[in-house]
Structure 1
Amino acid sequence: MPNSSTYFLPQGFRTAGIHCGIKSNQSARDLAVFLSESDCIAAGVFTTNKVCGAPVQISRERVPGENVRAIVINSGNSNACTGEQGLADARTMTARIAEEINSPAESVLVCSTGVIGVPLPVERICDHVPELFENLGETPEHLQHAAQAMMTTDTFPKIISRYVNLDGGTITLTGVAKGAAMIAPNMATMLGVVMSDVKLTPAQAEDLLPIAVNQSFNCISVEGHTSTSDTVLLMANGQSNVGLDDKGDLAQFQAAVTTLCTDLAHMIIRDAEGAEHFITVDVEGARTFEDAEKIAHEVANDVLVKTAVTGNDPNWGRIVSACGRTGCIESEAEVSLAINNHAVFKKGKPVNFDENVVSKAMKTGEVILDITLNQGNGRWRIWTCDLTSEYVRLNSEYTT
C-alpha cells in the first residue's frame, strides 16, 4: 500500500471519498469526486468492448473538452447493461455534482465500477452529495479516501504523485487507478484518473493520453477479459501557468505521463486477484510489431502458462505452443525462450537446464519470459500474473 506522505494533489484540485450505501459494508467508501476549482482541458480513453456502461457513453460524449470541472465515481455498481434508465442515472449523477459547483452538467465526467446489470441507486448517491462536498480537501488523506472509494476487489488504493521539472517551471502530476481483475488490453475493468496543473491545449491532451495508455494500461492482462467500464481520464487545469510550447517540454511531459500510467498499471497486476507472480512477457524479433503483440498476448492470457507459473514449473512447452497457435511463426525452429534469464529452448530445440534452479528463480514471484524469434524487428512487452485457486474462488463468488 502506498505511503500517504509520497502523494499529493496538483494546484487547484480537491478530492473526497465517502460511503453512500452502494456497498453493504458500512466502512467501505463507494463514492468519490475529483474536483478542480477552475476549468480543465480533459481527454479520455475508453473500453473497446461494444457492451459498455452508461457512464462510458456519457463521458465519451464530453471529451475532449475545455471546460471540465469534475469527475464523479461510484464503486459497487457498474451501471452497465441498464438501458435508457442507466443513461438517465449517469446524467443525473453529473447534474447533481454540477449543481454543487454551479456549472453545467456537461462539465462533469462520470465513471462507475462494480456489478453489471443492477439498477444504480442514483437517489442514494444524490442524497450523499452534500456529505461528499463537506469532505472535500487537498491533503494526502483526502486523495487516499477518493482512491479507496473507487475500489472493488482491490486490496489497496493505487496512487502516484510526481513533480516534473520543465523549462518553464515545475508542474505536478498525480494519478489514481483501480483494478484487480477483468483486466485485458484495450483496456479492462479498470478506472484511471490523471490530474495535472500543467497548461495543455485540447489537441495536446488528446494526443498525450492515448500514447500513454497504449504503452501502459494496454500492456497489462490478468485473464484477457475486456470489461464494460474501463476508462482513463486526464484533467489539466493550467494553474501552474507552465505550458508545453517547447517540443522538449512536450516530450518530457509525455514521458512523465506514460511512466506514471505504467507504474499504475504495474500496481494493478501486482494486486490482481489471488496473484502470486508478476510476469513480464517480452517478445523480440517478430516480423512486425503487430505479430509481436499478438504473440505476447497469447502467452500472457494462456491459462496453462499461468498455472505453470503458479506452480513455479518451467514448462516451456506450453509457452512455445502458445506462440505457434498465433499463426505468426512457421515452425518452432523460429523460437527461442528464456525464463528468468535461463535458456530453456533455442531455435526449435530444448536446452539442457536445471529445472530446480529455474523453479527456484520463479519462486521469487518475479517471472520474465523472453521469447526471441529470428524473423525481423518486431517487439512487444506485456505484463500479466499467474492464475491461482484464490482467483477462481473470488470470481466464482462475486455476485453470490
Structure 2
Amino acid sequence: MSRAGNRTGPTMHDVAAAAGVSQATVSLVLNDASGTRFSEETRHRVQDAARQLGYRTNAHAKVLRDGVAGMIGFVGDFVATAPFAGKIIEGAQGRAWEAGLLLLTVNTGGDKALEKSSLETMLSYKVAGVVYAGMYHRVLEVPEALGEVPAVVLNSRDRSGRLPSIAPDEELGGYTATRRLLDAGHRRIAMINIGIPDDDALPAAAGRRNGYLRALADAGVGPDPRLQRNGEGEVAGGYANTLELMALDEPPTAVFCANDRTAWGAYQALDSLGLGVPDDVSVVGFDNQETLAPNLRPGLTTLELPFVEMGRRAVELVLAGSGAAGSGAAGSGAAGPRAGGPRTELLECPLIERQSVAPPNKPRNRKPEKRRKP
C-alpha cells in the first residue's frame, strides 16, 4: 500500500493536544453534545484547533451513535432568490458546519407539492432537524411533517404556535430609526410603510409602525395621521407617497421609509422637486440592502436585518432539539402566536449610519412646484 494510502489525517487526540484540553472535551464540543457546558473560550479553542489541523468528524460514527444523518435540512419558499438569501444561508450553513453537519438547502419557489416532497426526502434521510425559512417576515402555515424532527421557523412565525421562531425585532428597528431622526432635531417625521400594518400576516409592517409611534410618544411628539402612508415596499410607492407628503401645507423634514426600495423612491421624488437629501429632507431606510443602500447618493442610513445571526441561531435551536419533536425551548423575545407555546426570538436590527440624516433645515414657505417623473 502506498504511503499516501496509510494517512488517516489528524485525530481527536491531536486536536485535544493543540487546544490544551482533554479528548473527551473535544468530542463533546465538536459533536454539540446536549447537557454539556463549556466556556466560549474553550469552545473556540477546540473549534480553531480542529479547523487549523483539518480535523473532520466521523460522519458514519455519528449516524450509528445518534441515529441521524450528518445534515440539517433548510427549506425556504423564495429564500434562495431573495436579495438577502446569501446571508441567511451563510449563517445557517456556518453554524451547521461548526457542528460537523452539512446544510441541505431546497428552494421551493412557493410550490407546496415540491415542499412536501422535499420534506419527505429529508426525513427519509434522517436529517438532524429542519430550518423552515420565509422570504420575508410574515405568519406562515407550517407543514405538519415538521413535528417529526427538531424544527425552527426562520424569518417568519408559525401560525399554529407549535414551533419556535427566529425573526427580526421589527418594533425595536422602527423605534431606532425614528429615534435617530428625533435625535437629529426633527419633529415633523413621516413614515412610508411596506404594507397595511393592521394585516396580522405582516408583522414587519405592524412592528415597524409601532416602533415609529412609540418613539414619537417617548419624545412627546403627537402622531400626525397625514404623515403616515402605506405602500407596497416598492420604488414607485416611495416616489408617489413622498410627492404627496411634500405637497402638504406643513411637509415633513424627515421620512422614515420601512424598506430601502421605498427610500430609493423617496430620493427620486425629492430630487424631482429640487430638494436634497439630507439638506432639505432627511431619510432613513430599513433592510440595508447591499446592492442599494450604500450606492445611493448620499449613502442611506438604514437598519440592517441580522440575517447571518438569525441563520446561526436557527441552527443552534435545531441542535438543541427545539420544536415539536424536541424540548420546545423558549426564546427571549415576544410570545409566539399560542400562549404557553414556543416563543419567537427577536434579534436586534443594528443601525447602519451613512450620510442621509442631518438636522432640519429652515422650513420652506412654498409648496414644491417642479416635478419630474423618475
Give 1 or 2 for the bigger CA radius of gyration: 2
- Do Structure 1 and Structure 2 share a fold, with TM-score over 0.5? no
Normalising by structure 1, we get a TM-score of 0.23
Q: Which has the higher strand share?
A: 1
Q: Which has the higher helix share?
A: 2
